[in-house]
Amino acid sequence: MIQQRKFAAIDIGSNAVRLLISTITEQEGKEPIFKKTSLVRVPIRLGADVFMTKLISEENTGRMVDTMQAFKLLMKSHKIEKYRACATSAMREASNGEEVARTIAEKTGVEISIIDGNAEAAIIAATDLHTFIQSDKTYLYVDVGGGSTEFTLYSGGETVASKSFKLGTVRLLENRVEDGLWEEVESWIKKITKDYPKVDLLGSGGNINNIFKSSGKPVGKPLSFLYLSSYYQLLNSFTYEERITELNLNADRADVIIPAAKIYLSAMKWTKARRIYVPKIGLADGIIKSLYQEKISAN
């Protein structure tokens, strides 16, 4: 006898807004099975507003209201049991972020939690990331977003260190990264990894997922430093328009993919990692997992 339950996660990032609907199949005496039923992505790019003006524009506020209304209808159609909406870097830094969240709640009924970088990293850690981490190895988990990047060092199956930096793809495109931040990130990564002779990377985010898909590698196999470096050079050899027409990238992916690749490559250089694994999990997956765990704990 099986039972199926549906949960939804809304991830409001600096580059895009996503709705993930997952079906959890429960079987007596077995671990539940999590399956992604639907994923909808809308490229609103709140960071382009916020990192320049510290405000979410009236136009993007309207787009957010429309998107949340659409997400609410989709969740209703899917008959989800519970949802959670989390906003990260852009809404966190917007001086009117809380005001926009209230407007969305009033007009759509969708309540948004604005979370900090540490909470974001903790939610991601609640995913099935442990299934990708071998207890006898050391990994640097790198989650690249539009406004920030979260770094977490795992060794012996345990979290050693974790930190969020305002180093994101949209922020880089808008030249809004603070002076000295690259050096600060490099110093921190080298400091926390210096006692580990071999480190592999775990990459998370839409851009590394896209690069992995382009590689044609089987799921579970890593990308080499050489491959990622070569692909980065390929991206740079094309114009923005050519990356859309020749590499078949979405318009909102064709620009941010270059700074994203630079962040992953830099982390690999600083850790001397030769491989990066791409488990294809992120904030939305962590939200789903935490919602399910809360429901189980409450029963």
- Give the domain CATH number at 146: 3.30.420.150
In this prediction, residues 37-61 reach a mean pLDDT of 96
Whether 271 and 145 share a structural domain: yes
* pLDDT for 234: 98
* pLDDT for 157: 85
180's torsion region: left (phi>0), alpha (psi -120 to 50) or beta?
Answer: left
Whether 204 and 245 share a structural domain: yes
Residue 41 lies in a domain: yes
pTM of the model: 0.92
Is residue 237 over pLDDT 90?
yes
* pLDDT for 248: 95
Residue 233 lies in a domain: yes
Structural domain span for residue 65:
2-117+284-298
Whether 214 and 292 share a structural domain: no
Burial 23-40 (b: 16+ CB within 10 A, else e): bbeeeeeeeeebeeeeee
* pLDDT for 280: 86
Other C-beta atoms lying within 10 Å of the C-beta of residue 233:
10
Q: With cut-offs at 50, 70 and 90, classify the pLDDT of residue 270.
A: very high
How are strands ordered across the β-sheet holding 33-42?
A: 33-42, 17-27, 2-12, 82-87, 112-114
In this prediction, residues 262-275 reach a mean pLDDT of 98
Helix, strand, or coil (residue 168): coil
Residue 123 lies in a domain: no
Q: With cut-offs at 50, 70 and 90, classify the pLDDT of residue 127.
A: confident
Cα–Cα distance for residue pair 86/73, rounded to 1 Å: 18
Residue 178 lies in a domain: yes
Residue 264 lies in a domain: yes
Whether 27 and 164 share a structural domain: no
Is residue 117 over pLDDT 90?
no
Whether 104 and 170 share a structural domain: no
Q: What sign does the CA torsion over 202, 88, 185, 49 have?
A: positive
How are strands ordered across the β-sheet holding 158-165?
A: 158-165, 149-155, 138-144, 200-204, 275-277, 223-224
CATH number, domain of 29, equals: 3.30.420.40
Residue 71 lies in a domain: yes
In this prediction, residues 36-64 reach a mean pLDDT of 96
- Quote the tokens at residue 173: 């495109």
* pLDDT for 133: 80
For the chain, the domain total comes to 2
What's the pLDDT tens digit per position in 135-177? Answer: 889 999 999 999 999 999 999 988 899 999 999 999 999 999 9
Whether 137 and 27 share a structural domain: no
Whether 67 and 187 share a structural domain: no
Whether 207 and 265 share a structural domain: yes
Whether 135 and 110 share a structural domain: no
Whether 143 and 265 share a structural domain: yes
What's the pLDDT tens digit per position in 185-223? Answer: 999 999 999 999 999 999 999 999 999 999 999 988 999
Strand partners, 276: 201, 223
